[in-house]
Amino acid sequence: MLFYQFLISLVFLFLKPYFVIRFLINPSIWRWRLGLGKFPVAEKKSIWIHAASVGEINGITSVISTLIKSNPDCFLYLSTMTTTGLAVSQNYQTNIQIEFFHFSSRLIFRLL
């Protein structure tokens, strides 16, 4: 047991600079990963759609198009958990708020 604790500590010691550099490159993504992001407040009716990855983003394209056509005055908020999902979702040309979101955020636990 002591050996594994030592091994894990050693691995994290060497990985820490990697994560610090990644945080410095893109701090906004890491704020969401750590549950520190802030949701926009909409004054009108809003719909939140969460798609975990690229496949789900591609799968909900028709759902989003239908929602936009049937609810033109509605605020759409799209969240994704992966950076590739975020990049793909940025291709939408409509008025949708798109954010990176980690599902273990403190806000979700307050809402539940």
- Give pLDDT tens digits for 10-63: 888 888 888 788 778 877 666 666 666 666 666 778 888 888 888 888 888 888
Determine contact, residues 42/77, Cβ cutoff 8 Å. Answer: yes
Determine contact, residues 70/50, Cβ cutoff 8 Å. Answer: no
**Interval 63-111: pLDDT, tens:** 888 888 888 888 888 888 887 888 888 877 667 877 777 555 555 545 4
**Structure token digits, residue 112:** 């539940």
CB atoms under 10 Å from CB of 100, counted, come to 20
| Model confidence band, residue 112 (pLDDT cutoffs 50, 70, 90) | very low
**Structure token digits, residue 89:** 């979702």
pLDDT value for 45: 82
Count how many Cα atoms sit within 13 Å of the Cα of residue 3 in the half-sphere of its side chain.
0
The mean pLDDT value of the chain amounts to: 77
